Amino acid sequence: MPRRNMILAGFFFNPQGDHRLSWRHPRAPGREFLGLDYYRGLAEAAERAKLDTIFIADHLGVWDTFGSGLAHYANPRLEPLSLVSALSAVTKDIGFMVTASSSYTEPFNTARMFASIDHISNGRVGWNVVTSALEEEAVNFGRDSNIEHALRYERAAEFLDVTKALWDSWEDDALIIDKTSGQFANAEHVHYLNHHGKHFKVRGPLNVPRPPQGHPVIVQAGSSEAGKNLAAAHAEVHFAILRSEAEGLAYRADMNNRLARFDRTPESFKLLPGILPIVAGSASEAEEKQEYLETLMLDAVAVDLLSSWAGVDLSVYPLDGPIPDLPDEGTFNGWRTWLALVKDDANKGLSIRQLARKIANTGSVPLVVGTPSQVADQLEAWFVSGAADGYNLMFPLLPEDWMNFMQTVVPGLQRRGLFRTEYEPGTLRDRLGLARPRNSFVAARGAVQARA
């Protein structure tokens, strides 16, 4: 059934908020971000507000590429699949979109973990597929540097093909558990893959029956050419960096063209741009909140972040001088999406310090600042125009901004008829308006029978 209201995902990357130094705020959590109760409070508040899902980002290392991150930022966090396994047991309806790398694991492990959590949660999990672009991740897995960009995406495409086939290796009716006859499963409906590809060799079948959703919802966030093509082939939810309504409409049109090449419809693909909402009783109060967060920023952290995005150690250049020449996107093995954004801003004449602070304080997503009604107005505009199917809500300070949004903005969206007031029945996939995928082995058997 088509989705008629906007999709809302509560996002967290840093456990204390999406501002890089929100941990310094007097109302930010301390060591409690390492315990379940902290995340349970966030999840329960989002579930009371009827949010679709919680989106959990991840890295496979500490943030210390250029040396200053470890002492001031580092960004340690709990392993997200472990966290979601616990959260799914203390919630009932809200979904979870969980980041896992296709670069530094294997399809069987990933398929098994997501199938397991989909069963445990009764069909409430999605997989945010990332290809891992940081040097500090690569060196934790036996490498001296990143996997080459094109190779990462080539591996990711095969990884997804194998993972989906593993989820399909048990047909929906394969598990019988007939205690009288002694038949546990219909062996004819359990399939070996015998996959022999460039990157993976996997016999199968999976040792977990097919997930309740068929496949957990596939999420993808890369906006390079390779990233957008991977999204068009596989993703059902796409987290994009869009800085204006016009940019969102153009991006949607581009993705619709790419989807058509894979015989997919626009309805099978939900576009969720990230936004940074700052909500207060007045516009001036909201601006004061943002200004205070900006006072917490340290130049060393800001320059370290900008250096990581740009692929150049900018700390060796004069901070108030211009941005030096940056790598070519076509040969860059880091985050090409972020490099493109840095280059775009660098062309505006900003100094290293100015651009570093801009990126570190607001990230790459647009700020949405104002009263609850003003914030709702901006969310409504993009949604109604078709520039967005919903939003990844990236709150500057947790838990305060998270709780404030749930209590003030969501009720306003509900009154406007833009967001649900109760959860619909079914899985996360059902609520997002996404079809349950047909089992590939069943489809292949039907094709053979049709030709016979």
What is the reported pTM? 0.92
What pLDDT, in 10s, does the model give residues 374-410? 999 999 999 999 999 999 999 999 999 999 999 999 9
- In the predicted model, what is the mean pLDDT of the chain? 91
Amino acid code (one letter) for 179: K
Distance of alpha carbon 127 from alpha carbon 332, whole angstroms: 26
Which structural domains are found in the chain, ordered by start? 7-169+198-293+364-451 (3.20.20.30)
Whether 198 has a pLDDT exceeding 60, the answer reads yes
CA 326 and chain centroid, separation: 27
Residues 411-427: what's their mean pLDDT? 97
pLDDT of residue 36: 97
Q: Which residues contact 451 (CB under 8 A, 6 or more apart)?
A: none
Backbone φ/ψ region at 371: left (φ over 0), alpha (ψ -120 to 50), beta: beta
What pLDDT, in 10s, does the model give residues 12-41? 888 998 888 889 999 999 999 999 999 999
pLDDT of residue 261: 96
Nearest CA among 86, 414, 388 for reference residue 237: 388
Taking CB atoms within 8 Å and a gap of at least 24, the contacts of 249-257 are 249/385, 249/386, 249/387, 251/387, 252/386, 252/387, 254/228, 255/228, 255/231
| Contact indicator for 13, 55 with CB cutoff of 8 Å | no
